[in-house]
Structure formats: C-alpha cells, structure tokens
Amino acid sequence: MLDALKRRSGMIALEGGKNLPPIIYYHRVAPGADPDTGVTPPAFDRQMGILKSLGFRGVSLREALKSDASSSAGMICITFDDGYQDNYAFAAPVLEKYGFRGTIYCVTGKMGEKTAWADDPRWVGHRLMTGSEARELAARGFEIAAHSRTHPDLSSLTGEELWTEVRGSREELEEVLGETVETFCYPYGFYNDETREAASRAGYRAARSTRRMRPGKTENLFDLPARSISGEMSLARFAVTVSGFRLLEGWRSPLPPVFSDGESSS
C-alpha cells in the first residue's frame, strides 16, 4: 500500500527497492516566455516560493542519486532542458535565493549559439549558455549535464551516430567543466532500448526522459520520468501538484495561500 502511494505521489520507485525524489523539468525562464515553452522569472520565483513553503529542498539529479532514505526526505529534483542562457541569467539566481540548486542539461555542440533544431518558431532563435557560463554555474553548485551534441531524435540513430551524440556530449562537457558528467537527458524525450544502452555504456549514472510515471510500476535509472512545468500551469495547479509529492512522506504542512484556478503562472 505504501509503495503504491509513493508511486502515485511522485516518489520514483526504482528497480531494486530504492526510491528517488520526484523530478520536475523546465525549458526557458525568461521575460515574455511563451507559456508553451517556458515561464517568466516572477512566475518561477512564485513557484519556488511554494516549494520552499511546503518544506521542499530543490536539488540536482546528481545529488538525489547520492542520497539515501534519510537524506532524501523533502528533496525535489529541479531540471532544465537545452541549457538556455536565461537559465543562467534568471533561473539560477531565483534558485539560489531559496537555497536550491538544480540540473541544467546542455546541448554541448551548440553552446553559445541560438537554437535552430525545431520547426516550431517558438523554439527557434533562443540563446544557449556559453561554456564559461556553464562553468560558473557548476562552481556555484549546479549540476551541468548532457543533452546530446546537436539535439537530434536519438531513437532514429544507431551505431556510431548514436554513440557520437551520447558519449561525445559527455566528453565535450567534461572538457568544458573539468569535472565528471553524471547524468543525461534524451532530446525531445525520444529514446529506445538502444538509446538507453548507449547512455549506460557511455558512463552516465542515469538518464531522464519527459514521460510521466507509470502508476504501480518500478522505474529504470535510464528511463527516469519527470513532470513538465510550463507557463500554462496555474499557481493553484502547481501547488496541488507539488503538495501531492509531499503527501508521500505523510507530512502535514498546509498549502500555500489558495490561488484562483484561473490564475496564470506566467
């Protein structure tokens, strides 16, 4: 019964009996961000304030993987896909304000450039953080992790092409950071058995997807589920979502002030 509650409430039940804190993910945090692709800095600040008021501690996936049952209490993994420069400029200072950290997944072959890998114009033309910005964030306690070299659909690649994107991304980022890169995130959330095997063989400890948890199922470290957070999510919905994660531990903290259902987080 308790295991089922954990899976429903956001705790990730892994094969072998270990549990991992829930994972949420963002893309952009920027003024005027399209609600489909990001949140504004004030909205992000309010969301992090809700997490803090509920007693959560925002951490990187790397830190969560190193935790045990006692030290993981109250953790929530905060992650960002693609490595946008606005993560450096706007998201990181807000996280630090609340004593949080997180994981930023960088497209290593495109650092410092503008996004150009999607057909949808909402995703095109946004500046990615530079290597020096990534190094600075790593020095400030953030996990900088790999998101492929060029952001392809990895499930469509095989052999050397796949290996270059998965292992090559880790090698490039380790050269930039001067430290071991431990986790990976699949571009677009697309992967298959060969992709997962490549991530494991490349030396990563875990890989995050974009799918939600499967109730009643155990999860694989190279297929970690996560909850997407966008500007379309109202503050009320965000509060209910994350408070559901907290119910896992049987904590009884009250919800933050009630927000109207129609209040936008953007």
Query: Is 260 a domain residue?
Result: no
Query: Is 265 a domain residue?
Result: no
Token pair belonging to 132: 């020096």
Return d(Cα 266, Cα 263) in angstroms, integer: 9
Return d(Cα 196, Cα 182) in angstroms, integer: 14
Return d(Cα 138, Cα 142) in angstroms, integer: 5
Q: Categorise residue 84: left if φ over 0, alpha if ψ from -120 to 50, beta otherwise.
A: beta
DSSP characters over 62-120: HHHHH--TTTTTTEEEEEEEE-BHHIIIIIHHHHHHTT---EEEE-GGGTTSB--S-SS
Q: Which of 219, 108, 79, 122 is nearest to 173 (CA)?
A: 108
Residue 203: give its domain's CATH number. 3.20.20.370
Return d(Cα 32, Cα 255) in angstroms, integer: 28
Query: Is 238 a domain residue?
Result: yes
Bridge-partner residues for 24, per DSSP? 78, 227
Query: Is 132 a domain residue?
Result: yes
* Tokens 């997944």 found at: 105
Query: Is 259 a domain residue?
Result: no
pLDDT in tens for each of the 266 residues of the chain? 334 333 334 678 887 778 889 999 999 999 999 999 999 999 999 999 999 998 999 999 999 999 887 788 889 999 999 999 999 999 999 999 999 999 999 999 999 999 999 888 999 999 999 999 999 999 999 999 999 999 999 999 999 999 999 999 999 999 999 999 999 999 999 999 999 999 999 999 999 999 987 666 778 999 999 999 999 999 988 988 887 776 544 444 455 554 444 444 43
Tell me the HSE value of 78 on the side-chain side, using a 13 A CA sphere: 26
Query: Is 135 a domain residue?
Result: yes
Are residues 226 and 210 in contact, defined by beta-carbon separation less than 8 angstroms?
yes
Q: How many structural domains is the chain composed of?
A: 1
Return d(Cα 144, Cα 179) in angstroms, integer: 10
Query: Is 94 a domain residue?
Result: yes
What 3-state DSSP class applies to 59? strand
Are residues 226 and 38 in contact, defined by beta-carbon separation less than 8 angstroms?
no
* Structural domain of 56: 2-247
Query: Is 262 a domain residue?
Result: no
Q: Which of 155, 154, 133 is nearest to 142 (CA)?
A: 133
